[in-house]
A and B are shown apart, each in its own frame.
Chain A
């Protein structure tokens, strides 16, 4: 069934579902005063299924986890954020979070699909058929997806804080979850993201120690700095030294730093291998 469409066709389909979720949320918000939680969630879930197909086709084509260029990393990051949202979102029961998730997923996927240069160079077997290295990369990008969701919940927290400080509880502020709930989910997401990234770097470090020249200093520094930042934030938050507004802004900044590190990691790669064949679209 995967062969019915090319990887990019599957991924365009997924992007359209995310976009539909965003548009439906906007429409229901403007007409009914609240985003339609269940319908948006269903559209995101449908888009997620199509994205799995698209990433699956691409994975078969490149012979591993599709993380070989900016386009693939963007797609994988959006997929990771959605993976966490589709599980955590059910318990969180926030229509607004689903709406923002649809918005983020639509922007990331549509923009990455609209930039042919991001997908111009396809690298096959970038992990040298080493499943541990592949696992290391997948975990790292997955943790960045978790940080994306963390940034979204932190933005919700900042909005809630603004509503409380400006004494405006009506309008769409009424749709926000409570401050304490947002704080708790933020802490948990940071913990999960930091743990995944730590595990990823731990796996990667085993191979780096064997061949230190295989990893550029820029890549190493960028990845380690993101992990150190996440760990420091976690420590400060648990000690009560980084709380409320500062913690929320730090979480948003962490996602920004993660994106920057992805760029550095991607740029640090040497041009490799000719484009992969198979069903991947030219």
Chain B
């Protein structure tokens, strides 16, 4: 009975990226495969968690061969050798499978520990299982309890405190200075990839106005259109720097594009309001001396990486505490799941019906 609840699949913990690429399921294919698998007589209930870092099938077996049948069908669908899959697969049963799902939903099993996106992805997986009529009494109970436990862990530990990506650290810094970003004026110097990512991070956190300036005005205008921002001729940064609260430097320039003198002139126009300069360039685009000015905050790539690293370490330090909480939850939940599995087995067995 213990093995009737199971998880089988592959994740970043065991499978390298090259393998995960071959196992990845595009959205529509995932839906079709899910429907095929739930039709198997050995499978009673099934949810498919399909993200860039994992493909995992959480199910309730009507017969002990259910995980193997799912594995075979999945490998056939992906044209992947079963024996190769077995080298990288995750295959857990009973309480261990439950504990794994709890840790996945809480972000403990994520590549970026404590990230919150996975919680939404687990919710989507459950919603899809419901839509495909693949969620029964066991999965319904398990997923509801898993969501409660994941929320509890996030609100009672520091697992999701502090940002761990460069772009989000930049936004966190801005929030620590300006609070609500709705009134903050953001200037992006340079229209490359990293600048765009950072600009999007600011927009996602509700930054008031975004302006993009690049030596190539047409590129700045192009990016401005795609981000719903404004474009500014590059040379105008010299006279208009004081109008902005946050300046993200992401140009390919080999010399400083924001000099100490320029910052000094800007601060004369806004002595009370702080100026945040985020330098994402190598060599640096903001003169280091500017950081010594009152109410001016300069962060370069090393600074952002250091903060991200500290946050990551802080999250890792919370993992043991979170596991303990989730283990307690699994101890409470598992007897209920076992009882439901027993009731299901005693009722009409699907296998061979």
**Interface, chain A (partner B; CB < 8 A):** 32-33, 160, 163-165, 167-171, 174, 176-181, 183, 237, 240-241, 243-246
Contact = CB atoms under 8 A, between A and B. Distances in A.
A188 to B, nearest CB: 14
Interface stretch (B10-18, B222-230, B307-315): B307-315
Contacts of B297: 164-165
Given A33-B157, A164-B173, A243 B295 contact: yes
B162 A32 contact: no
Given A33-B161, A164-B173, 12 more contacts: A164-B177, A167-B307, A168-B307, A169-B307, A169-B310, A170-B161, A171-B314, A179-B176, A179-B178, A180-B178, A180-B179, A181-B179
A78 B306 CA distance: 41
B179 A178 contact: yes
Interface in B140-196: 156-158, 161-162, 172-173, 175-180
Interface in B288-333: 294-295, 297, 299, 303, 306-307, 310-311, 314
B294 A245 contact: yes
Nearest to B158: A33
B162 A174 contact: yes
Contacts of B156: 32
A240 B242 CA distance: 14
Contacts of A243: 271-272, 294-295
A183 B158 CA distance: 27
Choose among A165, A168, A244 the residue with the greatest number of B CB atoms under 10 Å from its CB: A244
A241 B294 CA distance: 11
A178 B162 contact: no
5 contacts: A167-B307, A168-B307, A169-B310, A178-B175, A179-B178
Contact of B176 (A32, A164, A237, A241): A164
A181 B181 CA distance: 12
B274 interface: yes
B6 to A, nearest CB: 35
B294 A169 contact: no
A10 to B, nearest CB: 37
A246 B178 contact: no
Contacts of A170: 161-162, 307, 310-311, 314
Given A174-B161, A245-B294, A169 B272 contact: no
Contacts of A164: 173, 176-177, 297
A169 B176 contact: yes
A178 B294 CA distance: 17
A240 B274 CA distance: 12
Contacts, number: 65
A264 B183 CA distance: 46
Contacts of B179: 177-178, 180-181
B254 to A, nearest CB: 25
Contact of A180 (B162, B177, B303): B177
B175 A168 contact: no
Choose among B156, B176, B307 the residue with the greatest number of A CB atoms under 10 Å from its CB: B176
Interface string B261-285: 0000000000111100000000000
A86 to B, nearest CB: 22
B319 to A, nearest CB: 14
Given A170-B310, A170-B314, A244-B294, A163 B274 contact: no
A171 B161 CA distance: 9
Contacts of A176: 176
Contact of B177 (A33, A179, A246): A179
B161 A244 contact: no
Contacts of B310: 168-170
Contacts of B306: 167
A174 B314 CA distance: 12
B320 to A, nearest CB: 14
Contacts of A179: 176-178, 274
A164 B175 CA distance: 11
Contacts of B271: 240-241, 243
Contact of A169 (B158, B173, B274, B295): B173
A39 to B, nearest CB: 15
A156 to B, nearest CB: 12
A179 to B, nearest CB: 5
Nearest to B181: A178
Given A167-B307, A169-B162, A240 B272 contact: yes
A244 B274 contact: yes
Nearest to A163: B176
A154 to B, nearest CB: 15
A239 to B, nearest CB: 9
Contacts of A178: 175-180
A268 B294 CA distance: 41
